[in-house]
Structure 1
């Protein structure tokens, strides 16, 4: 059954391969792919492989994973190892360029079809492959296993939903997860789940994001937006999902008469929903300005719609109150750590099971509060806007929670040492050989 399922997956990839070019081209036309680097998605290298020395391949799907593994990558590169880093989005590619260009070669991750994966591996010939969080690509895992390249899952997590899906297909799960030489999990719950699914070696190190530092903010936009806001009261709703923007709009309507000049910042999780959100807000009689159109809020603006990618660090620096979405109408929540690192009081719905450990710590320390609906969200925002001491207490508790979670980087490096140590020795031997061979 497992062999048949994998064969079907591989065949489907081969059949779909000719159709992927138009699809990738369509994504590029919408700004979701880099037009000048589309060939990398088919495994065609955009740069040369370093001529000597071992090479580590690190994959991080998008911005969140990239931020989390950045300190780990710097630690690996500091030992003289070459790193090729792949990501799947243009915003994460930009982040790599800004934060890691001096120590990695960036490529877009190849599509999980045999021609693309083989082309990628034939060129880069990695000695070790590391994947962040929960990216499971069957064909890529299979090709790495054939080549006997060790595979490691770092900062690994499995949501309740993903775990149930894999649990329903135990033989397929085991056939994939048994290929990981090491799984370094975020929590004890995640670690146990990977063991149950067949991973042979699992350790728990904590969440790398706690060691990664706050999200960046482009200075010019930060200053421009700060000037536009002035002293207006404001709160942000970030990573919102369908239905939550309506709740936030209701909250704004309840509070605008109590807090003169109130501005609500909405940062939807998926910016391609922006037009529908604007229409909904306009139907409610709210005045909206959009970041994607280069607009700034003025005195009449009710809602600022942050419908671009990669600028969350600006909004979190300019508000002390943040509702984090996918937690009232959505299921599972979104990661609150970015907000906590920037001393923001966190409000959330009750459905945060994907980040259970982080929320438990924040709630225990007083850095987060849970709400049920528009009424309870409005009450919490109202109280925090009225009382700056409450806001300061929540911000301090959020920062304290992050401090308590630090240390994952060191524990992860310890777990990786059996795989990195031979590569470091290889680098040293090569250096000694070059020195000995000098005239």
Structure 2
């Protein structure tokens, strides 16, 4: 994989509830003209270029941007465009980026001459991508860049340099200047894993003159669920397929030597996992574990923050717990262990069958939306989460008999205690959920990659 450095250096079968519409690819002649409000956004963001530049420098000081690659956020790059066909995929953050990798691998298997430009908006996603691609066939054909902010001159600079044949955005990344820029450069737009919550739909339904012109610039949209598809369609979006890329991903990869080394060190010690946690949740998790220590004094709690840079702060809350980012493993007297690294989730999930999934507890402000429950489920985990799982509501509904909803330290501790004391129930729930997750994979990637290649051939 190529990284620029500015210094040396539902788809069990992708249900086709909507037929292929064979829409003509949008071009500068056929795309919707900008509305007055769209033009206002264009002018406002152009005027805000200088303050936004200052904001990015501030983010650098907070270690939320890579200072050696900050120019990419302004649409500049040190890399050349590869000769040949280039498909641009954009994923806002970690979850979206990970969901795209199996699709890119499928496309690469079918058309090895293609190049892929993958943009992300967070450091965490970029760092994890670097690690995940290191041993992948994609490393020779995939270029990573940070996405420019939606400032017209920065978007123009980005598109003029890369000139992709297709632009494939994910979920709800509907930036007006980006979409207008693709229109101006006659770059067909596709939306993958299209997500539109009921709340957003109600808001947009009152403002169709804003959203409909944006959606109608897409050649087609693959919505992540039937409900999302109906919402997009009512707002004028060209729905073509229904299917969630996050449902189609394979089990998380892992390093077998690392896993066996950790297992030997733990020497059979029981543990449970609090995964993808966000600020405000760790206090609840720590309190729950202190309750559990009354019954299982040697029990270990592995806390895996969604953002690894928070590891030190969490360790301070948890009795100065050892941090894996510092190559520290727990001693027998450590009740907590912090898994604050990138790319090791496949190892961590294989250490325990008892997993709580974060970004879901009601104590968070603002409320979370959950993280992908299928990742631990595919590795035979019994799962609990908080009630704030709106981003995965359909999966939670399907697995309501197998996933336990917890609300606070008391209910979380009670669930972990039940799973520890009742291995038969734990196995029953994890196996049932695993069968559901396996059933979702099917032909999803094949059918979606085929549709993308069909769109490419029609240019």
CA distance in 1, matches of 2:262, 2:278: 24
1:114-133 equivalence runs, <5 A = 114-133=152-171
- Structure of greater relative contact order (alpha carbons < 8 Å, 6+ residues apart): 2
TM-score (structure 2 length as normaliser): 0.82
Paired with 2:290 and 2:314, the residues of 1 have a C-alpha distance of 16
Cα gap change, 1:271 to 1:163, in 2 (>3 Å): farther
- Structure 1 position 24, deviation (Å): 3.0
Which of the residues 34, 42, 48 maps onto 1:16?
48
Q: What SS does structure 2 have at the residue aligned with 1:333?
A: coil
Please state which structure has a larger fraction of its residues in helix: 1
Map of 2:455 onto structure 1:
419
1:70 and 1:273 map into 2 onto residues whose CA distance is 26
What whole-Å deviation, never above 9, does each CA across 1:295-354 have from its counterpart, x for those lacking one? 321122122233344432222121111111232314432220111122211112233222
Q: Are 1:62 and 1:88, in contact at CA under 8 Å, matched by a contact in 2?
A: yes
Question: Which of 221, 232, 235 is the aligned partner of 2:269?
Answer: 232
Structure-1 separation of matches of 2:255 and 2:54: 34
Superposed CA offset, 1:155-201 (max 9, x none): 222234443443443321112212111110111011111112221x1
**Root-mean-square deviation over aligned CA pairs:** 2.5
Query: In 1, are the aligned partners of 2:170 and 2:193 still within 8 Å (CA)?
Result: yes
What is the CA-CA distance between 1:146 and the residue it aligns to? 2.0
Aligned partner of residue 107 in structure 1, secondary structure: strand
Classify 1:9/1:388 alpha carbon distance in 2 versus 1 (closer, same or farther; 3 Å).
same
- CA–CA distance in structure 2, aligned partners of residues 261 and 369 of structure 1: 24
Bigger mean CA offset, 129-138 vs 9-18: 9-18
Which has the higher mean CA deviation after the structures are superposed, 8-17 or 54-63?
8-17
Task: Give runs of aligned pairs for residues 8-407 of structure 1, distance below 5 A.
Answer: 8-51=40-83, 53-77=84-108, 78-79=110-111, 80-94=113-127, 95=129, 97-98=133-134, 99=136, 100-199=138-237, 201-218=238-255, 221-271=258-308, 273-274=310-311, 277-281=314-318, 286=319, 288-329=321-362, 330-364=367-401, 366=402, 368-406=403-441, 407=443
Whether contact under 8 Å (1:203, 1:415) holds in the other structure is no
CA spacing shift, 1:165–1:228, aligned 2, 3 Å: farther
- Residue 40 of structure 1 and its aligned partner are, at CA, apart by 1.8
3-state SS, counterpart of residue 238 of structure 1:
strand
Classify the secondary structure of the residue corresponding to 1:101: helix
CA shift in 2, pair 1:162/1:293, >3 Å: farther
Q: 1:346 aligns to what SS in structure 2?
A: strand
- Which secondary structure does the structure 2 equivalent of 1:363 belong to? coil
Question: 2:272 touches 2:301 (CA, 8 Å); kept in 1?
Answer: yes
> Residues 241 and 383 (structure 1 numbering): CA distance in 2 closer, same or farther, change over 3 Å?
same
Using the TM superposition, give the Cα deviation of residue 272 of structure 1 relative to its aligned residue in structure 2, in angstroms: 5.2
SS in 1 for 2:337: strand
- Quickly say closer, same or farther: Cα 1:180–1:341, change in 2 above 3 A: same
Is the CA contact (8 Å cut-off) linking 1:289 and 1:305 kept in structure 2? yes
More deviation, 117-126/102-111 = 102-111
Q: Is the 8 A contact 1:84 1:107 kept in 2?
A: yes
Residue segments in structure 2 that go unaligned for 5+ positions in a row: 1-33
**Counterparts of 2:102 and 2:50, CA distance in 1:** 38
Q: 1:227 to 1:162 in 2, by over 3 A?
A: farther
Distance 2:455 2:92 in 1: 22
Per-residue deviation at 1:48?
1.5
Change (3 A) 1:125 1:256: same
Unaligned runs of 5+ in 1: 424-439
136-145 vs 15-24, which moves further:
15-24
Distance 2:79 2:346 in 1: 31
Deviations, residues 215-242 of structure 1 (Å, cap 9, x unaligned): 2335565445434433221111122234
Q: Deviations over 1:124-181 (max 9, x none)?
A: 1112110122222111011111222110001222234443443443321112212111
